[in-house]
Structure 1
């Protein structure tokens, strides 16, 4: 399982802001993370809309975190809709083996455990 780029990069964006002693601009974050400024702008817009970041324009502008309780799971849900190890995790998925599949129970259990782990990892951990 590989976390989507948007999740990984948004986490890196937040970590840089969290660990800075001053507000950081996207240009500064881009230099620190080697992520393009345009891509960071897209991520920051989503995070700001979700109430995680707050941007300030002007000479002393930049970004500040307004919700440091954000979890890795929150970012996964925002940028990819959640964890789904197998299609049959979704109740709407139609499979003729759904009632007899011996693997589905394991997929459900793993999916729950991984989701709980991701919920336990917050920005405070970085």
Structure 2
């Protein structure tokens, strides 16, 4: 559903938010290891998230990445990385699909797409901190 870049971005933000909540800043190597992501690829993603204001960074010996606002929606992350295609694109990838020119799955996909958008819009990075801390969910395969 998400691009690999977006998957890593969400997982990284969730991990960094968990660390930020505990008062820590983290380096990209630690993040990559924690979420099982390739370091060079993740470094570029983190730079992009910082540039777009979804993530903060500090330089120096006590530096690293941190999340200043826990109310960032998952929809905002998806839009920053993958754009609006998930929320408005055709399920079959047709460029001219619309209400007046629907593809074969247009109505069913529109319904699913709306549900996904509502879920991502109402879910924030901060919503997941307790679940992660309690071990009810995880960011890396076991």
What is the TM-score normalised by the length of structure 2?
A: 0.72
**Does residue 57 of structure 2 align to residue 52 of structure 1?**
no
Higher relative contact order (CA 8 A, sep 6+): 2
Judged with a 3 Å threshold, the aligned counterparts in structure 2 of structure 1 residues 116 and 85 are, in CA distance, closer, same or farther, namely farther
**Does residue 126 of structure 2 align to residue 121 of structure 1?**
no
What is the TM-score normalised by the length of structure 1?
A: 0.80
Question: What residue in structure 2 maps to residue 98 of structure 1?
Answer: 101
Q: Which runs of 5+ in 1 are unaligned?
A: none
- CA deviation digits over 1:8-38, x for unaligned, max 9? 1111111111111311011111222221221
Equivalences, count: 121
**Does residue 10 of structure 2 align to residue 8 of structure 1?**
no
How many angstroms apart in 1 are the aligned matches of 2:97 and 2:65?
44
For the Cα contact (< 8 Å) 1:87–1:93, is it kept in 2? no
| CA root-mean-square deviation | 2.5
For the Cα contact (< 8 Å) 2:28–2:39, is it kept in 1? yes
How many angstroms apart in 2 are the aligned matches of 1:117 and 1:85?
19
Question: What residue in structure 2 maps to residue 69 of structure 1?
Answer: 71
Runs of 4+ in structure 1 off by over 2 angstroms are 101-110
Q: CA deviation at 1:7?
A: 1.4
